[in-house]
Amino acid sequence: MRSLGPALGVLALAAMAFALGNHLAARDPRSPGERARAALADPDPIARATALVPILRNLGTSELDEVEQAYRAAFVAGGPGEPAIALLCEAWAALDPAGGMDRISRWPETARLPAQRSLLRAWARRNPNAALEWAAGIRDDGTAAEAVFAGWAESADPKMWDFVAKMEPSMDRESASIALMQSLVAREGFEGLLARVGALPDDGPHGFKAAAIGTATGLVAEDDPLRALAFADRFAASPYGDGLLRRVAVRWVVRDGRAAMENLIARPASPDRDYALRWAYIGWLRRDHAAALAWMPESAARDPHYTPLVDVYAVALAKNDPDHPGDAVRRAMRWAEGTPDAGKRHETFVSLGVIWLYYEPDAASAWLVQNGLDAEVRNEAARAAAKSQGGPSLAR
């Protein structure tokens, strides 16, 4: 285990520096506005923040105006930077959050948006109801509400869990849940989070337990896919298991595509596993097309473990040689012929037929008529063309 000595030494030095800053600030004859202007002119962001802390920590309501004027002057020189803005917003949240939001509304947009987020977040740590009421009047993409939820979650107020549980299913509820869970992870770790959502009452309102288990599974999978997988498996046979494996798979494949796919392939076949397998492979193809194609064994078409991927891989293979698209489609068709699943083989040929018909209509038409797929493929091609305005719907 690493020694805490050096860390404690750094904390002690930081405490001494802060105390020294307060001591020097008390002896500085300049007004808070003058001192803030000097601090904001410092090009070193660390020195700037260090100088601002004692000014803003001891600020009075009557001194807010002159400090804000110093910030406004800094906008002309390119802005004080988001850390400095966040420090001012902390002072505003403690002294006059509503007044601060009014003043911020007249700032340049580049400063107004981060200031709004910082002030709402700081306000919510102190008075979530008032911050929520203010955010409700802001028409944006949900950023204001996210800031409030983040600040409220940071306060560790247990009432927030009840509030979120009673929310109607929505993006706002998801944002609030994520903020709650991220804050809980910071305090208690992943196991604390998983224990909390697993213990939620089954009869909670609006399906909150199912939603919370899904959100927590995805959040943990971002950092620890195996831990998230074990949690998902606990609920696989329960009413909460639907889609959990996919939540893990699509995040795991971002971290390690090969490991994710090998794990999924080895699992017993089931609708949930097949669904997760397809989503994971599609995600890997989009992220690292060459690696995903290289991973698929030539024998996969004949292996039932890979059946859910036959059409996905065949289409990717058909789009992998844009200089010779007809040859690529024929190569994909020869590969797909090996699958013993008649339904999957038919589905794959229809998808490949749409691509072939786009690039080589004459050659494709003859093959489609011969194999009784002409009408079905043309109907599918028409639907695809309507969606993509003329291009093949399965283009890479």
From first to last of its 396 residues, the chain has per-residue pLDDT tens of 333 344 334 334 333 444 445 555 556 789 999 999 999 999 999 999 999 999 999 999 999 999 999 999 999 888 899 999 999 999 999 999 999 999 999 999 999 999 999 999 999 999 999 999 999 999 999 999 999 999 999 999 999 999 999 999 999 999 999 999 999 999 999 999 999 999 999 999 999 999 999 999 999 999 999 999 999 999 999 999 999 999 999 999 999 999 999 999 999 989 999 999 999 999 999 999 999 999 999 999 999 999 999 999 999 999 999 999 999 999 999 999 999 999 999 999 999 999 999 999 999 999 999 999 999 999 999 998 888 764 444 433
Closest Cα partner for 361 from 336, 381, 337, 334?
381
Rounded CA separation 51/11 (Å): 18
CA atoms within 13 A on the CB side of 168: 1
Rounded CA separation 231/239 (Å): 14
One-character DSSP codes across 330-350 = HHHHHHHTT-S-HHHHHHHHH
Spans of all domains in the chain: 18-138, 296-396
Under 8 Å between Cβ of 86 and 117: no
Under 8 Å between Cβ of 346 and 371: no
Say which amino acid occupies 16: M
Longest dimension (CA), the chain: 94
Tokens of 203: 């009869």
Rounded CA separation 98/73 (Å): 22
Structural Rg of the chain based on CA atoms: 29
Under 8 Å between Cβ of 380 and 387: no
- Return the H-helix or E-strand segment holding 371: none
Instruction: End-to-end CA distance of the chain: give it in Å, rounded.
Output: 49
Rounded CA separation 223/191 (Å): 13
Tokens of 241: 């298991």
Dihedral angle over CA of 322, 324, 325, 331, nearest 10: -120
Rounded CA separation 368/374 (Å): 5
Q: What are phi and psi of 158, to 5 degrees?
A: -65, -20
Tokens of 346: 């038919």
Rounded CA separation 32/23 (Å): 14
Rounded CA separation 355/193 (Å): 46
